[in-house]
Amino acid sequence: MLSDCPLWPEELAEHYREIGCWRGETFGSMLRQKAELYGNKTAITNGKRKITYAELDMQSNQLAAGFSKLGIQKDNRVVVQLPNDVEFFQVIFALFKIGALPVFALPSHRSSEVEYFCEFTEAQVYIIPDSFDGYDYRKLARKMKDRGFKNLPVIVAGDPEEFISLSQLFHEPFEKEFEVSSHDIAFLQLSGGSTGKPKLIPRTHDDYIYSLKKSNEVCLMNEESVYLAVLPVAHNFPLSSPGVLGTLYAGGRIVLSSGSSPDEAFPLIEQERVTITAVVPPIAMIWMQAVKSRNWDLSSLKVMQVGGAKFSSESAKNVKPAFGCVLQQVFGMAEGLVNYTRLDDPEDVIVHTQGRPMSPYDEIKIVDEEDQEVERGEVGELLTRGPYTIRGYYKTKAHNAKAFTSDGYYRTGDLVKLDHSGNIIVEGRDKDQINRGGEKIAAEEIENHLLAHPEILDAAVVAMPDEYLGERACAYIIRLDKGKPSPVELREFLNKREIAAYKIPDRFEFVSEFPKTALGKVSKKSLREKIAIQLKNKKYKFL
Ligand code: OOB
């Protein structure tokens, strides 16, 4: 079992087993069982290529044999950076079967993030596509090889060039099964983060499979369900709420889209008779516009899930008239807790709230700054613990002491209140993060990059309101010299540091000092207010 992962106290773990939350299933046993039940049924398609449950089970066995021969063992970490395609599933199930842990990188990550994941997790292997969305990942791998990762084996889905070809690793399956326990950590998921470096979230087979089961109950998933994955599947939302893994658990069919534009998604909905999909608010807004002018038949769609960032009530009320389907708001976090509006909730709840916890064993508290529970209806920070919410991040003891209470509650950093019906309304955030249309940016991470510039004295990155994305990032900068570096130079500088494009600030503001709090810290609240006022009457919002 991977060390340095704080887990539930043994007594509580026993309780979760007794009450049937954790049922001893692993992802390997789950897939085998589904293959027995649904053998020749299509499990996954991208509209052209199809793979059945039996094939997915067999191919992941074959790949597990190939991975093992390559030296991948139980508890090894493997950074997986694959887009929405069949290989993602073959790879992660092969790793699950060995008991090795996928570390889920996003396709948008670049060498700055990937190097950190490889180093921090002491990854054994790095798995990439040849290219995706116009970007050649072999170039990234080559750079890593030049920078201290000389011996890191790189496996490529597609044309491998000098690297190891994934397709060559489908070997004769081993007869003997690998020993994997449902208590083991199954994978490391990325946290949105609010500190300099992203935190890694250890999820066990038991807890994650429980979250799939509960999601499936709430979202009424069954063998007839057809789930369209438009968001990158490494994100917790499309992975498990109920997402692609929930769909497999229900015996449904996954339809993979490599992008989220209406021109990619709508034909797939029509062709594959998709019943449920999950998007972030900006995509929902684009689709609502597009549906008016496109003639695709989207009548199969029963549920549109929207989550990852606050969906305004004004937009939420338009989903049903636009698509003729039910809107489901989803307020979740990779650390665990997922809240859903229920499919049969009154319209008022669906439009105005972010739902309620999916499990009766989720414990939530809304507290003030002294950790005292607030009166019902008042805004406070949401704390939570339960059978699928982690008790600590991987290898970050000091941070865990701040991010979790002594009795095991995760401090979400979300400011919420309960409405009269007991549903949660997200009101804001008390964490140093920008939620750019569902993609989370840790302000400190970007500030550290900016501070590496020799002509920058100080930097403070804050959220600014945006009609379309909800928020964008604005970097306040104190320069050594007036006039340089310019916003264009700064963007180039950050690009050269090879960070994911969504993290590059949308706007730069140059100042000679920062407003301070009474305690002498930079007042990000004042900076947020300042930029919000400044933008209010401006025609052009970006520089
Ligand atoms: C999902 O997971 P993460 O880990 O990328 O981000 C979690 C954070 C939450 O703490 C909250 O700040 C924000 O994203 N968030 C929302 C929201 N859903 C997530 N804020 C307002 N309204 C919502 N509906 O984003 C995630 C994981 C599983 C399911 C859905 C979303």
- Reduced to 3 states (helix: H, G, I; strand: E, B; else coil), residue 167 is helix
Q: Using CA atoms, how far apart are residues 39 and 421, in angstroms rounded to an integer?
A: 43
Beta bridge partners of 262: none
Beta bridge partners of 424: 418
The rounded Å distance from CA 463 to ligand 1 centre is: 16
Q: Are 46 and 258 in contact (CB under 8 A)?
A: yes
Which residue's alpha carbon is nearest to atom 30 within ligand 1?
Answer: 332
Q: Using CA atoms, how far apart are residues 89 and 83, in angstroms rounded to an integer?
A: 10
Which residue's alpha carbon is nearest to atom 19 within ligand 1?
Answer: 308
Q: Using CA atoms, how far apart are residues 379 and 367, in angstroms rounded to an integer?
A: 8
Residue 542, pLDDT score: 53
Q: Are 505 and 531 in contact (CB under 8 A)?
A: no
Q: Are 404 and 335 in contact (CB under 8 A)?
A: no
Residue 327, pLDDT score: 98
Give the tokens for residue 426: 């997200």
Q: Using CA atoms, how far apart are residues 266 and 295, in angstroms rounded to an integer?
A: 9
The rounded Å distance from CA 357 to ligand 1 centre is: 13
533, with CB counted inside 10 A (0-12, 13-18, 19+), is exposed
Q: Using CA atoms, how far apart are residues 325 and 337, in angstroms rounded to an integer?
A: 25
Q: Which of 361, 325, 85 is nearest to 219 (CA)?
A: 325
Give the tokens for residue 6: 């704080």
Give the tokens for residue 210: 């429980």
The rounded Å distance from CA 309 to ligand 1 centre is: 6
Q: Using CA atoms, how far apart are residues 243 and 305, in angstroms rounded to an integer?
A: 10
Residues 6+ apart with CB under 8 A from 113: 105, 198, 499, 500
Which residue's alpha carbon is nearest to atom 20 within ligand 1?
Answer: 309
Which residue's alpha carbon is nearest to atom 22 within ligand 1?
Answer: 310
The rounded Å distance from CA 509 to ligand 1 centre is: 28
Q: Which helix (H) or strand (E) holds 244?
A: helix 243-250
Task: Among 108, 207, 313, 333, say which to mutate for ligand 1: greatest number of ligand atoms within 8 Å of CB.
Answer: 333
User: Distances in Å between the alpha carbon of 511 and those of 111, 133, 461?
Assistant: 31, 37, 13
Q: Using CA atoms, how far apart are residues 221 and 247, in angstroms rounded to an integer?
A: 7
Which residue's alpha carbon is nearest to atom 7 within ligand 1?
Answer: 333
Residue 319, pLDDT score: 98
Q: Using CA atoms, how far apart are residues 148 and 153, in angstroms rounded to an integer?
A: 13
Give the tokens for residue 127: 């798995």
- Residue 183 sits at the vertex; the CA angle it makes with 177 and 189, to the nearest 5 degrees, is 100
Which residue's alpha carbon is nearest to atom 12 within ligand 1?
Answer: 414
DSSP state for residue 522 in the 8-state scheme: B
The rounded Å distance from CA 496 to ligand 1 centre is: 29
Residue 312, pLDDT score: 97
Q: Which helix (H) or strand (E) holds 210?
A: helix 205-218
Q: Using CA atoms, how far apart are residues 319 and 298, in angstroms rounded to an integer?
A: 13
The rounded Å distance from CA 234 to ligand 1 centre is: 14
Q: Using CA atoms, how far apart are residues 12 and 9, in angstroms rounded to an integer?
A: 5
Calculate Rg over the CA atoms of the chain: 23
The minimum-distance atom of ligand 1 relative to the CA of 414 is 12
Beta bridge partners of 104: 80
Beta bridge partners of 522: 516
Q: Are 178 and 428 in contact (CB under 8 A)?
A: no
- Reduced to 3 states (helix: H, G, I; strand: E, B; else coil), residue 234 is coil
Task: Among 319, 329, 331, say which to mutate for ligand 1: greatest number of ligand atoms within 8 Å of CB.
Answer: 331
DSSP per residue, 286-322: HHHHHHHH-----TT--EEEEESSPPPHHHHTTHHHH
Q: Residue 271's CB: how many other CB atoms inside 10 A?
A: 14
Sign for the CA dihedral angle at 135, 141, 146, 147 comes to positive
Q: Where are the alpha helices (DSSP H) in 437-504?
A: 443-451, 487-496
The rounded Å distance from CA 331 to ligand 1 centre is: 5
The rounded Å distance from CA 427 to ligand 1 centre is: 13
The rounded Å distance from CA 229 to ligand 1 centre is: 17
DSSP state for residue 168 in the 8-state scheme: G
User: Distances in Å between the alpha carbon of 150 and those of 140, 146, 147, 459, 499?
Assistant: 13, 6, 7, 34, 21
Q: Using CA atoms, how far apart are residues 46 and 247, in angstroms rounded to an integer?
A: 15
The rounded Å distance from CA 308 to ligand 1 centre is: 4
Pocket of ligand 1 (CB under 6 A): 192, 236-237, 241, 307-310, 329-334, 338, 354, 412, 414, 426, 429, 435, 440
Which residue's alpha carbon is nearest to atom 9 within ligand 1?
Answer: 333
Q: Which helix (H) or strand (E) holds 457?
A: strand 456-466
pTM greater than 0.90? yes
The minimum-distance atom of ligand 1 relative to the CA of 190 is 4
**Averaged pLDDT, groups of 10, the chain, 543 residues long:** 95 98 98 98 96 98 98 98 98 98 98 97 98 98 95 98 98 95 98 90 98 98 98 98 98 97 98 98 98 95 98 98 98 98 98 98 98 97 98 97 97 97 97 97 98 98 97 98 94 97 98 95 97 83 51
Interface ipTM: 1.00
Length, in residues, of the chain: 543
User: Distances in Å between the alpha carbon of 450 and those of 196, 459, 512?
Assistant: 12, 7, 16
Give the tokens for residue 369: 């700054």
Q: How far apart are the first and last CA of the chain?
A: 50
